[in-house]
């Protein structure tokens, strides 16, 4: 499994122009939110949490077609299917690499961006922590849906169909970020962690099943 | 028993059976909806507070009931397709989706008309309204996915899986929405617990309307599934 992870990381690092793109997209999208509040600072601080969640969601959403569609197009996926390593493990590693390569760079700049949105500095740490624990589910759900849409790889279709599946994570994420409760094992936070764990567990199996359905 | 049930997955037998049942369901639908509406609208007393607008309930509640249960029915038929691979099952889910979408839209429209007179606004992001908006998204996604994929078998596979995962995520979103906010909308109108039910003068026409809408759905879904089967057969021949 470590070997696959290493391999996938190398592939992403060497070919991955989408990392830089996702990073810039995140910053530009945040800038759009900031500009659209027209310098009204009370409006801006109310918008901050929504803006950061939506920008993160959009940058994951728009890079989803890089996870598996290109492997399908080039025929690599068939070799992965017949190799000795279970396809579920490969898919898990692929998703993990996608999450690390897209989200971790964003989380590094998020504190800086949030400060420009007038959010107090002790709140910033909490928001970043919640983003760190909440966003894996976005990548894992995206993996499921991109495996479902292998038959029609239009990126607009993928994006449109994935959005409804993001509702639970987005709702819980913003609710937890806005919550004033600082005890990080309170019920709403536990729900968020549960949501992440649930999607991480089901995603590789459902994705593998979807791929097999596509080849049958 | 089980063999007798599964034998209707044969398209020819299914068409024969649906040819028998669908006129019956259509007649029941007419016999229930027209008297139900007339009884509900003209022969019940208006509510002391909401006046005549309360009578929207006779459309709103059956439509909402169907909108939710059609998704459930689609999930079950999708599961049957994935396990037993009967074309009838997949096509029934396909033909139910558009009816479910219509019912969802009817629920939202009647609900917002009702809301405009009782709450003073067409739309609030109340949990029940939000969960119907979410349900609408899943119906639309399902139909889009059917349209996007050409080959019937592949499309059936993929939409079935979408429907099953979708039902999990739709339920998840619904409970999270309810966890976040309790909202304006009243609780359930009909329940098995007699104490909580609405008054009998509304209860009986409402039940009549529920029966009528359900048989209308059965009629429509049988006719549409037969059409889809015929289309599939024509494609196979041509």
Q: Tell me what the pLDDT averaged over chain A comes to.
A: 89
pLDDT per position as a tens digit, B112-145 = 998 888 888 888 888 888 899 999 999 999 999 9
Distance CA(B65)–CA(B191), nearest Å, equals 12
B143 touches chain A (CB under 8 A): no
So what's the ipTM on this one?
Answer: 0.90
**Chain A closest CA to B230's CA: distance in Å?**
25
How much of chain A, in percent, has pLDDT values that exceed 70?
100
Distance CA(B20)–CA(A149), nearest Å, equals 38
**Residue B108: its pLDDT value, please?**
93
Q: Provide the domain limits for residue A76.
A: 2-215
**Chain B closest CA to A36's CA: distance in Å?**
23
Instruction: Report, as an integer, the average pLDDT of A63-71.
Output: 88
> Is B177 within 8 Å of A171 when comparing Cβ atoms?
yes
Distance, CA of A171 to chain centre: 15
**Chain A closest CA to B145's CA: distance in Å?**
8
Distance CA(A72)–CA(B99), nearest Å, equals 35
* Burial of A98 (C-beta count, 10 Å sphere; 0-12/13-18/19+): buried
Q: Is the pLDDT of residue A55 over 90?
A: yes
Q: Quick one: which of B53, B133, B138, B47 has its CA closest to B97? A: B138
Tokens describing residue A202: 């089901």
Q: Is the pLDDT of residue A182 over 80?
A: no
**Residue B124: its pLDDT value, please?**
84
Tokens describing residue B218: 């059965």
More confident call, A43 vs A139: A139
Q: Is the pLDDT of residue B105 over 90?
A: yes
Distance CA(B139)–CA(A107), nearest Å, equals 34
> Is A171 within 8 Å of B141 when comparing Cβ atoms?
no
Q: Is the pLDDT of residue A196 over 60?
A: yes
Instruction: Report, as an integer, the average pLDDT of A86-111.
Output: 92
Instruction: Report, as an integer, the average pLDDT of A19-45.
Output: 87
**Residue B189: its pLDDT value, please?**
58
Contact A35, A47 (CB under 8 A): no
Number of domains observed in the structure of chain A: 1
**Residue B125: its pLDDT value, please?**
85
Distance, CA of A81 to chain centre: 24
More confident call, A99 vs A48: A99
> Is A148 within 8 Å of B158 when comparing Cβ atoms?
yes
Tell me the HSE value of A185 on the side-chain side, using a 13 A CA sphere.
0
Query: Which residues in chain B touch residue A195, judged by CB atoms under 8 angstroms apart?
Result: 172
pLDDT per position as a tens digit, B18-64 = 999 999 999 999 999 998 888 888 877 776 666 777 788 889 999 99
> Is A154 within 8 Å of B155 when comparing Cβ atoms?
no
Distance CA(A8)–CA(B224), nearest Å, equals 47
pLDDT per position as a tens digit, B177-227 = 888 876 566 666 555 555 556 667 778 888 889 999 999 999 999 999 999
For residue A192, what are the contacts with CB-CB under 8 A and spacing of at least 6? A130, A133, A134, A169, A172, A173, A176
Instruction: Label residue B161 by pLDDT band (50, 70, 90).
Output: very high
Angle at alpha carbon of residue B80, lines to B66 and A141, rounded to 5°:
80
**Residue B107: its pLDDT value, please?**
94
Q: Is the pLDDT of residue A138 over 70?
A: yes
Q: Is the pLDDT of residue B3 over 90?
A: no
H-helix segments, B43-151: 57-84, 87-118, 127-148
> Is B145 within 8 Å of A149 when comparing Cβ atoms?
yes
B83 touches chain A (CB under 8 A): no
Q: What is the crossing angle of helices B87-118 and B200-237, to 10°?
A: 140
Q: Which of B148, B157, B166 is opposite residue A152, by nearest beta carbon? A: B148
Instruction: Label residue A29 by pLDDT band (50, 70, 90).
Output: very high
Distance CA(A184)–CA(A110), nearest Å, equals 20
- Write the DSSP string, B130-198: HHHHHHHHHHHHHHHHHHH--SHHHHHHHHHHHHHHHHHHHHHHHHHHHHH---SS---S--SSGGGS-
Query: What residue segments make up the domains of chain B, in order of their start?
Result: 19-237
**Residue B40: its pLDDT value, please?**
82
Q: Quick one: which of B131, B135, B149 has its CA closest to B90? A: B149
Q: Is the pLDDT of residue B102 over 90?
A: yes
Tokens describing residue A138: 């976005």
> Is B162 within 8 Å of A164 when comparing Cβ atoms?
no
Distance CA(A216)–CA(A18), nearest Å, equals 31
Q: What does the DSSP 8-state code read for residue A135?
A: T
Distance CA(A26)–CA(A52), nearest Å, equals 8
**Residue B184: its pLDDT value, please?**
60
**Residue B187: its pLDDT value, please?**
62
**Residue B237: its pLDDT value, please?**
60
């Amino acid at each position: 499994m470590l070997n696959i992870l290493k391999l996938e990381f190398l592939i992403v690092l060497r070919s991955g122009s989408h990392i830089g793109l996702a990073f810039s997209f995140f910053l530009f999208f945040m800038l759009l939110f900031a500009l659209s509040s027209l310098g009204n600072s009370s409006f801006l601080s109310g918008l901050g949490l929504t803006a950061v969640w939506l920008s993160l969601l959009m940058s994951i959403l728009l890079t989803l077609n890089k996870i598996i569609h290109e492997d399908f197009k080039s025929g690599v996926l068939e070799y992965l299917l017949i190799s000795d390593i279970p396809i579920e493990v490969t898919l898990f590693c692929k998703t993990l690499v996608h999450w690390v390569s897209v989200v971790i760079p964003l989380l590094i700049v998020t504190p800086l961006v949030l400060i420009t949105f007038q959010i107090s500095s002790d709140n910033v740490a909490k928001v970043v922590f919640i983003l760190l624990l909440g966003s894996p589910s976005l990548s894992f759900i995206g993996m499921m849906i991109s495996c479902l849409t292998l038959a029609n790889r239009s990126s607009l279709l993928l994006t449109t169909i994935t959005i409804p599946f993001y509702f639970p994570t987005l709702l819980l994420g913003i609710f937890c970020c806005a919550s004033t409760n600082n005890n990080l094992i309170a019920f709403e936070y536990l729900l968020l962690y549960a949501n992440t764990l649930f999607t991480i567990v089901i995603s590789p199996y459902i994705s593998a099943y979807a791929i097999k359905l596509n080849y049958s | 028993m089980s063999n007798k049930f599964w034998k209707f997955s044969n398209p020819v037998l299914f068409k024969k059976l649906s040819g028998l049942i669908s006129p019956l369901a259509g007649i029941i639908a007419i016999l229930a909806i027209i008297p139900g509406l007339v009884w509900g609208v003209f022969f019940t007393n208006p509510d002391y507070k909401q006046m005549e607008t309360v009578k929207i309930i006779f459309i709103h509640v059956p439509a909402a009931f169907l909108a939710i249960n059609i998704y459930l029915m689609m999930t079950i038929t999708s599961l049957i397709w994935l396990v037993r691979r009967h074309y009838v099952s997949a096509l029934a889910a396909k033909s139910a989706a558009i009816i479910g979408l219509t019912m969802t839209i009817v629920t939202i429209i009647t609900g917002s008309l009702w809301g405009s007179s009782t709450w003073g606004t067409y739309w609030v992001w109340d949990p029940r309204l939000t969960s119907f908006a979410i349900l609408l998204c899943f119906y639309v996604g399902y139909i889009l996915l059917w349209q996007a994929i050409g080959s019937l078998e592949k499309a059936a596979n993929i939409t079935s899986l979408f429907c099953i995962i979708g039902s999990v995520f739709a339920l998840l979103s619904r409970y999270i929405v309810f966890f976040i906010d309790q909202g304006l909308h009243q609780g359930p109108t009909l329940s098995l617990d007699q104490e909580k039910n609405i008054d009998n003068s509304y209860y009986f026409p409402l039940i009549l309307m529920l029966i009528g809408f359900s048989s209308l759905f059965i009629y429509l879904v049988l006719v549409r599934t037969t059409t889809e089967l015929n289309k599939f057969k024509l494609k196979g021949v041509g």
